[in-house]
Amino acid sequence: MANEVIKIALLGAGTIGGSVIKFLRENHEIISKRAEADIQIKNILVLPQEIEKLHAQGLPATENYEEILNDPEIKIVVELMGGINPAKDFALQAMAHGKNVVTANKDVVAQFGSELFEAAEKNHVDYLFEASVGGAIPIIMPLKRSLTANKITEILGIVNGTTNYMLTKMSEDGADYETVLKEAQAKGYAERNPAADVEGKDAARKIAILASIAFNSRVKFEDVSIEGITKITPDDICHAEKLGYVVKLLAIGKESELGIDVRVHPVLLNKNHPLASVNGVLNAIFVRGVPIDEAMFYGPGAGAPTASAVISDIIEITRGILTNSSGRFGCTCYEQKKICPVEETVSAYYLRLLVADKPGVLGQIATTFGNTGVSVKSVMQAAVELENHAEIVVVTHKVKHKNILQAQDALEKLSVVDKILSNIRVE
């Protein structure tokens, strides 16, 4: 067994923290060999009421962060508290005390990445965050280390398990949004307040992190154009199916001439796309680049498996300490690229319209698309229950978002158009 001992502290002992504790124990032998060190948990920061529970399990625990900060034996602080405060300050304080930091905290990385990487560099320590995106999926290190030869042009992610589970269920069962949300909440896949997930904010934080690495330029949460899945209906999923698509909430980063195009929204995704068969709570990140062409990384996006990413970061830092190469890889945002305004981004679109069922309607609609510079690829008419009405499903060629907004405005003014029921990008 390894001679060297590396002592660490955990901040938080919830789902991921508990899993880290469990697997550092269960896989102790293989981890020790791979790390070439015996990794020991020296202390765990928890709420006062949790201390006794941890002690009962033979685990160290404290409610006082100073105890960890001032313990010179602790080389790695593993922040698994979540939220901005006090997680961010705790990470900065740890680094100021010469300690390496591992985090699973997407909020902190997405919002304060620059500041944290700066602190890591200044203090010659590592700040690793593999678990912050895609849960257990190795994606941060592969992007930073294995795809370095590539000019990455596109990164597409299914990075929110809650919404992917919901869309999968809507697709399989034909159930509506509200029904599926309740089911997801009952199963613990969605939180009681599901806003961060279903409105796309969680995915937006993750794509901000991924895009920053892929394009070597800092992308912040505020840069992401966001739309959630709350308006998706079983009808849309059904029409998509007929057209050869599945509906997915994608986090998208692309590099265009106008800057980094970064957004989160539902899309109609071609059934043959590798991401199309990623179902349920699973996550996957698809990367397009030159010369790799395409690559995809797939796995569990949340929960206990995330310990895989956290512990691997701990091992990586341990190897750095033992070989005197801490801080070997820091911030990789060498560039300062513009963000492409969402109006200028380019997509194909799927629009579903409720129209009057009478002759000439299709002609008026087609003319309106033409007048606003939108080229139509296919039109499908569907019967509806509402008397004297019909549904028209239009798929456009690639156009700028601003053109679609113009087309939508003009369509809404037509007397034959009752309502624009859906407007979803096609990827």
Q: What is 102-115 written as a DSSP string? A: EE--HHHHHHHHHH
Indicate which residue of 99, 169, 206, 220 is catalytic: 206
Residues 240-279 that bind a second copy (CB under 8 A): 274, 277-278
> Please, what is the minimum distance in Å from the beta carbon of residue 281 to a second copy?
11
Q: State whether residue 425 is helix, strand or coil.
A: strand
Rounded Cα distance between 403 and 180, Å, is: 33
Among 107, 289, 403, 424, binds a second copy (CB under 8 A): 289
Cβ distance 217 to 186 under 8 Å? no
130 lies in the site for a second copy, by CB under 8 A = yes
Given the rule CB under 8 A, which of 80-88, 133-141, 225-233, 252-260 is the region that contacts a second copy?
133-141
| Host H or E run for residue 382 | strand 376-383
Q: Which is nearer to a second copy, 181 or 315 (CB)?
A: 315
How many beta carbons lie within 10 A of that of residue 206, not counting itself? Answer: 27
Buried b / exposed e across 258-289, counting CB within 10 Å, b at 16+? Answer: ebbbbbbbbbbbeeebebbebbebbbbbbbbb
Sole residue written with tokens 């701990």? 314
Tokens of 241: 């199916």
Strand partners, 249: 266
Residues 200-239 that bind a second copy (CB under 8 A): 216
Q: Which is nearer to a second copy, 31 or 54 (CB)?
A: 31
> Please, what is the minimum distance in Å from the beta carbon of residue 164 to a second copy?
14
Residues 300-339 that bind a second copy (CB under 8 A): 300, 304-305, 307-312, 314-316, 319, 323-325, 328-329, 332, 334
Among 297, 389, 402, 406, binds a second copy (CB under 8 A): 297
38 lies in the site for a second copy, by CB under 8 A = no
How many beta carbons lie within 10 A of that of residue 94, not counting itself? Answer: 27
φ, ψ (nearest 5 deg) of residue 421: -75, -35
291 lies in the site for a second copy, by CB under 8 A = yes
Among 54, 61, 137, 158, binds a second copy (CB under 8 A): 137
Question: x/- contact string, 145-184, with a second copy (CB under 8 A)?
Answer: xxxxxxx---------------------------------
Given the rule CB under 8 A, which of 111-119, 141-149, 197-205, 245-253 is the region that contacts a second copy?
141-149
296 lies in the site for a second copy, by CB under 8 A = yes
How many beta carbons lie within 10 A of that of residue 385, not counting itself? Answer: 5
Cβ distance 140 to 129 under 8 Å? yes
Going by C-beta distance under 8 Å and a sequence separation of 6 or more, which residues neighbour residue 118? 331
142 lies in the site for a second copy, by CB under 8 A = yes
31 lies in the site for a second copy, by CB under 8 A = yes
H helices present in 219-292, as ranges: 234-243
13 lies in the site for a second copy, by CB under 8 A = no
H helices present in 76-135, as ranges: 87-96, 106-122
Residue 256: which of 400, 427, 425 has the closest Cα? 400
The Cα-based distances of 10 to 56, 65, 90, 177 in angstroms read: 17, 10, 11, 38
Q: State whether residue 370 is helix, strand or coil.
A: helix
Among 23, 176, 185, 418, binds a second copy (CB under 8 A): 23
Residues 334-393 that bind a second copy (CB under 8 A): 334
| DSSP code for 255 | E
Given the rule CB under 8 A, which of 33-41, 171-179, 358-366, 402-410 is the region that contacts a second copy?
33-41
> Please, what is the minimum distance in Å from the beta carbon of residue 62 to a second copy?
25
Q: Is 402 a catalytic residue?
A: no
Q: Which is nearer to a second copy, 296 or 421 (CB)?
A: 296
397 lies in the site for a second copy, by CB under 8 A = no
Given the rule CB under 8 A, which of 110-118, 168-176, 284-292, 387-395 is the region that contacts a second copy?
284-292
Q: Which is nearer to a second copy, 152 or 198 (CB)?
A: 152
H helices present in 215-274, as ranges: 234-243
Residue 67: which of 11, 25, 14 has the closest Cα? 11
* Contacting residues toward a second copy, per CB under 8 A: 19, 22-23, 26-27, 30-31, 33-35, 130, 136-138, 141-142, 145-151, 216, 274, 277-278, 284, 289-300, 304-305, 307-312, 314-316, 319, 323-325, 328-329, 332, 334
* Residues catalogued as catalytic: 206
